[in-house]
Structure 1
Amino acid sequence: MAPSQPSLSDSDSLKRPALVLASASPRRLALLGQIGIVPDDVVSTDVDEEPRPGELPRALAQRLAREKADHAASQRQDAALIIGADTVVAVGRRILPKAEDEKTARACLRLLSGRNHKVLTAVALRPTVGWVDGVANERLVETSVTFHRLTDSQIDALIANGDWQGKAGGYAIQGAAAAHIRQIGGSYSAVVGLPLFETAQLLRGQPRRQGGWIA
């Protein structure tokens, strides 16, 4: 008797589920590429990022990462794993906004001048209903960043550069602001937008399939 052929379900169970990045951020996509990970799909999510009354920075980052991943997962029925992430910049309990205009960016830089602040980046993994073996998991990474004391002309130059647009806290560590950051304690990639070591660890923790995302 000839050996039986594997059924379609057996074959499907060996395939690597699609990897989806639930973020339109080009920085997060580039960071994944840095460690050899290319998502099968990239989607933006319509999530209200305003802090809730009394919500602390850590809780906000974790909630938004979960909501982004959950929203993207709910839109798919195939076997897929969703990566959601969010970055929050805070001085103590004060959450700094994403700078959408020069006034906001300037206010953030003045607040950060000469002091230490925290960058909290959460990453959440969510399997879709089509991948029953997938494991939901998440991490929160806290990084300490210290600016030297900025002069008015230095703040003017950072504003003129323009890379603050849409950035939490009004600066991009991979941009012109790097010339004014005296010290960083923790994950540089998390400040950019995605903690690479922790993300890789989360992916390694998923059930193994052919052509897994990372060694």
Structure 2
Amino acid sequence: MQLVLASGSPRRRELLSQIRAEFICLASDIPEQQAINETASDYVKRLAYDKALASAKLHDQPCIVIGSDTLIDRDGEVMEKPRNQPHGIAMLRSLAQRKHKVRTAVCVMYYDGVTTDIVSVEEVVTEVTMGEISETAASAYWQTGEPQDKAAGYAIQGGAARWVKRISGSYTAVVGLPLYETDQLLQAVEAKLG
């Protein structure tokens, strides 16, 4: 049975390749807008599910689909991708010398070509503590292009690693796909399918 990763992210593709050799990537375009009164936890889980379902519907045959989404939760405020350079620098600097939560949800579903049957969604929360981030350093980091499509404008596996003082939880979840949880969900879905 074909395995589909509902993402165009090279980071998620690289992570999934560590636990599964064969899969295809099929990204979908879904609106990413937090609903009024929707918690950060509910929001990230909904996005993972919506991405998986949208990609499943693009694939017209039975498959297992993995959807994932990552967002930054700073004291209950959801920080998504930066709109522009000033916004990106301000977001990054607002994380300096403090802790924040990285929320990553993964959804694994079986799609029979018409409807979804088996669906499992799990959220992984990792706490990250950042050190000092100067305006000059944040601006130089923005110029690399790396933070421009990342939640809160930083990539832990890239240049922003220099500011990470501590991480408590799943490193792969912060990068974008929690491998342990993804593997467990895949095994559970495959077992149900026999």
Matches of 1:133 and 1:53 in 2, distance apart? 27
Q: Do the aligned residues in 2 keep the contact of 1:134 with 1:206 (CA within 8 Å)?
A: no
Q: Does 1:79 align with 2:69?
A: no
Count of residues in correspondence between the two structures: 193
**The one of 32, 39, 42 aligned to 2:16:** 32
Matched, 1:89 2:72: yes
* Equivalent residue number for residue 114 of structure 1: 97
| Counterpart mapping for 1:1-215 below 5 A | 17-39=1-23, 41-130=24-113, 135-208=118-191
**Letter in structure 1 aligned against 2:10:** P
CA separation of 1:155/1:36 partners in 2, compared to 1, >3 Å: closer, same or farther? same
| 1:100 and 1:166 in contact (8 A); partners too | no
Give the Cα separation in 1 of the matches to 2:112 and 2:75.
39
Q: Distance in 2 between the 1:59 and 1:97 partners?
A: 15
Alignment check: 8 A CA contact 1:96 1:169 kept: yes
| Counterpart contact for 1:144–1:184, Cα < 8 Å | yes
Give the corresponding residue for 1:4: none
Question: Of Structure 1 and Structure 2, which has the larger fraction of its residues in strand?
Answer: 2
Compute the RMSD of aligned alpha carbons.
2.1
Which of 134-143 and 178-187 deviates more? 134-143
Cα distance in 2, alignment partners of residues 152 and 42 from structure 1? 37
| 2: CA distance, partners of 1:22 / 1:207 | 18
Displacement of 1:133: 10
The more displaced of 95-104 and 44-53 is: 95-104
Q: Give identity over the alignment, percent.
A: 38
Q: Which has the larger radius of gyration?
A: 1
Does structure 2 conserve the Cα–Cα contact (< 8 Å) formed by 1:32 and 1:38?
Answer: no
Contact 2:110 2:189 in 1 (8 A): no
Shift of 1:37: 3.3
Q: CA deviation at 1:131?
A: 9.0
> In the alignment, residue 67 of structure 2 is paired with which amino acid?
G
Cα distance, 1:104 vs. partner?
1.7
**Structure 2: unaligned runs, 5 residues or longer:** none
1 CA distance for matches of 2:59 and 2:156? 34
Counterpart amino acid of 1:76?
H
SS at match of 1:31: helix
Structure 1 stretch displaced more, 128-137 or 159-168 = 128-137
